[in-house]
Structure 1
């Protein structure tokens, strides 16, 4: 019938923390404004967890990979906790657990981009050029995607079809990821 409340709490809190970690990674990937209040909040929330790993993990160019590493560890922890609560053995198939966690992180990143593109499209209709920190951050995250898509489908007059290409690409990748874990 219903879902166990403990499982719901574990998944919700874990996925929320993973979202914040992935946002930190995507903000640095897009080179978003570090002084944006939302960016500052994300950095402050995640820094205590990331500080030990930042000393250990090497940077990949300008990219700090510690948010991805912690997100993967949290995702693995969520899966392990759920398996143990269901009475399963976590050590039995650790390789598939890691594959599920990596695919889950990729799917979460694609979902973030999907909703950010939707937000960017709506903001471009409702409040273009807004000075609020949230629309600016959404624009900075999605700008590299739009530029890449506009190389394939340039704007036609005043009509930009690049969001449609981005949505289709995200859906195709997510369907392939779903086939990978089945």
Structure 2
């Protein structure tokens, strides 16, 4: 692979990963019933509305879940996989492989996003425990549905919250399963956005 194709692959991967995370955040904001008047929420809504508005005419929500956002995440992941596959290998994926790899990629993006947001929340809880910054409020709202079940499992430890450790262990287990699923599906190395 030459320098130009490596740079193209890096730029494509970076841009697609960024937009994929925004789409997944849009899904999580609705799932967690987060504050949509938060300025960061408003940015996420504005960034995702152009493709989601027409999609919502044909794709209704299912069981209270924003299915349009999930399908958009799969489409973004599929575009990313197709672009990287073409840039790195000058190849095109069969439709069924593309679907499987996209599902694995979106699952990976969810785990990575939770890992990052929980880690940022932990760091800021040490540095600025009383902060009311909109980003921290939003992180708390998005992470709480994942953290709450683990908090219920652990006994009260006098104000020490060890639930993030259990969440990180669970995320690592999921990532190992996803990585093995990717290998079993015949995915070429470095193709799924966020798996590296």
TM-score of Structure 1 vs Structure 2, range by shorter chain:
over 0.9
Partner of 1:31: 33
Q: Is the 8 A contact 1:107 1:174 kept in 2?
A: yes
Report the TM-score when normalising by structure 2.
0.86
1:152-167 alignment runs, 5 A limit: 152-167=153-168
Q: Does 1:41 align with 2:43?
A: yes
**Residue of structure 1 in register with 2:177 after alignment:** 176
Give the superposed CA RMSD: 1.5
Structure with larger RCO (C-alpha < 8 A, sep 6+)? 2
Q: How far apart are residue 55 of structure 1 and its match?
A: 1.0
Aligned 1:92-171 pairs, distance under 5 A = 93-171=94-172
Indicate the residue corresponding to 2:92 in structure 1. 89
**CA distance in structure 1 between the partners assigned to 2:131 and 2:125 by the alignment:** 9
Deviation (angstroms), 1:154: 3.0
Per the TM alignment, residue 156 of structure 1 is displaced from its structure 2 partner at its CA by: 0.7
**Scaled by the length of structure 1, what TM-score is found?**
0.92
Q: Tell whether the 8 Å contact from 1:155 to 1:162 is kept in structure 2 after alignment.
A: no
Among residues 20, 23, 36, which one is paired with 2:22 in the alignment? 20
Q: Structure 1: how far apart are the matches of 2:81 and 2:7?
A: 16
Report the 3-state secondary structure (helix = DSSP H, G, I; strand = E; otherwise coil) of the residue aligned with 2:105. Answer: helix
SS of the residue corresponding to residue 23 of structure 2 reads helix
Residues 21, 67 of structure 1: 8 Å contact kept: yes
For 1:177 and 1:56, locate their aligned partners in 2 and report how far apart those are by CA, in whole Å: 30
Which structure 1 segments of 5+ residues have no match? none
Partner SS state of residue 48, structure 1: helix
Equivalences, count: 180
1:114-170 CA distance string (max 9 Å, x none): 111111112222222321101101111111122110111133112111011000001
CA contact (8 A) 1:155 1:161 kept: no
